[in-house]
A and B are shown apart, each in its own frame.
Chain A
Amino acid sequence: MRPALRPYLLIVPALLLTGGILYPFGLGLYYTLFDFSASKPQPDMVRLENYRAVFTQEAFWNSAWVTVLYAVGAALAETVLGVSVALLLHRSTVVGRVLEKILILPLMIAPVIAAIIWKLMLQPSVGVVNHLLKPFGLGGVQWTDTPTGALLSSIAVDVWVYTPFVAILALAGLRSLPASPFEAAAVDGAGWWYTFRRLTLPMLWPYVLVAVIFRFMDSLKVFDIIYALTEGGPGDSTVVLQIRAYLEAIRFQRYSFGISYTIVLWAVVYLAAMVLVKHLGKIQRKAAEVTT
């Protein structure tokens, strides 16, 4: 092999991977410029009409609102709980080490399976949750029958599945923090709260924010948990953008229109990621200042 060729050959896998991502993306984007559907298999170019239709649809704004509520709610709850669990597990005890192993179990269950399990557990008459709440006079809760209940139940399942992910990232972060600032604080007689607020948290933030970025982006794209738990109901109360896109493109066979939804969702995810990543840079610099 000629040495001059070697660099080009080395980037072939990366090029193939990039092409594999960009080709369907570009194709999807191209299709949104047509009115392609099952009833119109030979479509006409409609330019940006699908996007105009998406943005003027009341259903889109409802779905966008539900998606944001879900993503913010899930990411926030998972962050608070995940970091709290990581702090509790940070002290290496026998119980902590056992719990660490157990903690990862929900992550090993497919989210759709978790949602189905929770659907059974939340069933008002035979579900175990109401059975456990019965002694407290709360045995008749209709968990997914009201719009608020359905959204909160969906978020709760997401939290159950993904809190361990945040906890593991935060725990890894905690264990990689340098010992010297904490030793210095101890010598100076700093209390637990002061140490946590001025040392632990600022240095841990970059790790937490990485977890937030992943969870927020993932929650914006949620489909499986909600579809398995509520199918988007009651009414349109849990129809997030992904479910709307699925219904339009697959169930109702309005392909171009459905893909337009996914393009809009992609743009939202991308913008959110850009903002959060920019923020991450600032936090990393602050964390570096604390350690120096």
Chain B
Amino acid sequence: MDTHVHDRRRFLALAAGAAAAPLLTACGAGFGGNDSKSDGSAADDITGSFDWKREKGTTVKALLNKHPYTDALIADLKSFTARTGIEVEYDVFPEDNYFDKLTVDLSSGRASYDVFMLGAYMVWQYGPPGWLEDLGPWMRNSAATGDEWDRADFFPNLLQADQWSLKAGAPLGRGGQYALPWGWETNVVAYNTEVFGKLGLKPAESFDELTELAGTIKRKAPGAGFDGMYGIAVRGSRSWATIHPGFMTMYARNGLKDFTVDGGKLTPAMNSPEAVAFTEDWARMVKRGGPPSWTSYTWYQCSSDLGAKKAGMLFDADTAAYFQAVKGASPASGKIAFHPGPKGPDGSLATNMWIWSLGMNAKSKKKSASWLFLQWATGKEHLRKSAITHNHIDPVRKSVAEDAAYKDKMRHLPGFLETFETVVDQTRIQFTPQAQFFDATTSWAAALQEIYGGKGAQSVLNGLADDLAAKVG
């Protein structure tokens, strides 16, 4: 009997150790690093005249996120192979674990993927360790880049958003080009025209009006035939992604900053009196007119609720509403209109944005072929085709945004083109670039949830600022 007990003890004790071991393995990335960093660029090795067939017979490996942009790309890959003789192998992951996969892969230094999708914010995280190839030398080399690629055709704010000097607090638009804009989203208000018509409402021009409007819809819409409808869908989950769309857009329109930068030192500014007042107002708006269970709301729930006629308005990416608005996509399709959203106190329409970009692995052994792929995927021909025959919007190229066929396609969505044209020049990344972006914004989202739950905004945001000052400053 004793032996039996002893064996079981040992077994359970070992099981405890074994159960914890995989956690450690999962975290046990190697000291990957940038030990092979060099000043020269592989782009300098490309000489002679530009030739699409230069890397014929090569295979490029791409890591892609499940997205309509990706669907459009995959549908057109044969054109790339026909033009270059380069094959593209790809893996597609859903967004929930896409960035974990990419982060682990890049940090391992293995170069499993030559090219990948990333957001402009990821440049701040992946750039400093040397994981991203600086595409500037490739863009500037006429032997590597065809004339038709036409750098000047990109909206300048988008190209600048992927450009950084890798120094915390340094403005975007200077330094290396660590990714190329591929598709993007500006953050505006989309609304259900049916409920607006029935209740005699007009889109809000100020934040106070928006709060009032959201409350009115929540109170009156259910009695007007819109069962269970609430006022405004905004994200609320405990995630960095809660901060960047509607919240950051309205924050910026109020002239507020996330950090102040003084001599390269970053000081959190989300606890300034003005920021505290705005955050209280935002939480009040959510309480008065936001979704039930707001703290679990991601872009998906927000977008779905607009499409399912559960939300009267959506303050989020224009594409999140677009995918519900297109014919046959949802019960609300044909009844969704777009508006730039409330102006700031000084009339500002400063807008934050998300850019899906394409980057190259600095450890890739196939940089020349990878660059040809990036050049093609961000080129006019593919992006025009993707925008017109698929759903690759918003266009990162001016020529596509102004294309008659593209405009014809989008014209049936009330206010979409007008809203885009109103905010496009004022849309840029409103955050201060720094490597702890995801920590800062995840903590910020947690703070928002606490304020929504009834805690004092000033003390919560002071705590957030103190925490971030130690990490970022």
B104 within 8 A of A: yes
Residues of B with C-beta under 8 A to A195: none
Q: What's the minimum C-beta distance from A231 to chain B, rounded to whole angstroms?
A: 4
Stretch at the interface among B44-52, B272-280, B287-295, B418-426: B287-295
Q: CA of A16 to CA of B292 in the docked complex: distance in angstroms?
A: 52
Q: Which of B125, B291, B295 has the most CB of A within 10 A?
A: B295
Within 8 A of B (CB), among A227-243: 229-236, 242
Chain B: how many interface residues by the 8 Å CB criterion? Answer: 60
Using an 8 Å CB-CB cutoff, how does the interface string of B322-334 with A read, 1 for contact, 0 for none? 0000000000000
Tell whether, in the assembled complex, residue A38 and residue B107 are in contact, meaning their CB atoms are under 8 Å apart.
yes
Question: CB of A196 within 8 A of chain B?
Answer: no
In the complex, whether A215 has a CB less than 8 A from a CB of chain B is no
B204 to A: closest C-beta gap in Å: 23
- Complex interface bits, A243-258 against B, C-beta within 8 A gives 1, otherwise 0: 0010101111101001
Closest Cβ of chain B: how far from A82's Cβ, in Å?
18
Question: A39: CB under 8 A from chain B?
Answer: yes
Give Cα A21–Cα B449 distance, bound, in whole angstroms.
39
Beyond A39-B435, A119-B296, whether A125 also contacts B20 by CB under 8 A is: no
Expressed in whole angstroms, the Cα–Cα distance for A272 and B29 within the complex equals 28
Within the complex, the shortest CB–CB distance from A282 to chain B, in Å, comes to: 9
Kindly state whether residue A259 has any CB partner on chain B within 8 Å: yes
- By DSSP majority rule, is chain A's interface helix, strand, loop, or mixed? helix
B28-81 at interface with A (beta carbon < 8 Å) = 28-29, 31-35
- CB-defined interface of B259-272 with A at 8 Å, one 1/0 digit per residue? 00000000000000
> Which single member of A143, A221, A252 contacts B436 (CB below 8 Å)?
A252
Q: Indicate if the CB atoms of B436 and A281 lie closer than 8 Å.
A: no
- Select the stretch in B4-12, B170-178, B406-414 that faces chain A: B4-12
B452 within 8 A of A: yes
Residues of A within 8 A of B404 (CB): none
Question: B255 interface residue, CB < 8 Å from A?
Answer: no
* B33 A221 Cβ-Cβ under 8 A: no
Is the Cβ of A259 less than 8 Å from the Cβ of B27? yes
Residues of B within 8 A of A (CB): 1, 5, 8-9, 12-13, 15-29, 31-35, 100, 103-104, 107, 125-126, 128-130, 228, 230, 237-239, 291-296, 310, 435-436, 438-439, 442, 445-447, 449-450, 452-453, 455
29 A-B pairs whose Cβ atoms sit less than 8 Å apart in the complex:
A28-B27, A38-B107, A38-B129, A41-B34, A41-B129, A43-B31, A124-B292, A125-B230, A145-B293, A146-B453, A213-B12, A217-B16, A233-B446, A234-B449, A234-B450, A247-B442, A252-B436, A252-B442, A255-B27, A255-B107, A259-B24, A262-B23, A266-B24, A270-B17, A273-B15, A277-B12, A281-B5, A285-B5, A288-B1
Which chain A residues have a beta carbon within 8 Å of chain B's beta carbons? 21-22, 24-25, 27-29, 31, 34, 36, 38-39, 41-43, 119, 122-126, 140, 142-147, 150, 210, 213, 217-218, 221, 229-236, 242, 245, 247, 249-253, 255, 258-259, 262-263, 265-266, 269-270, 272-274, 276-278, 280-281, 284-285, 288
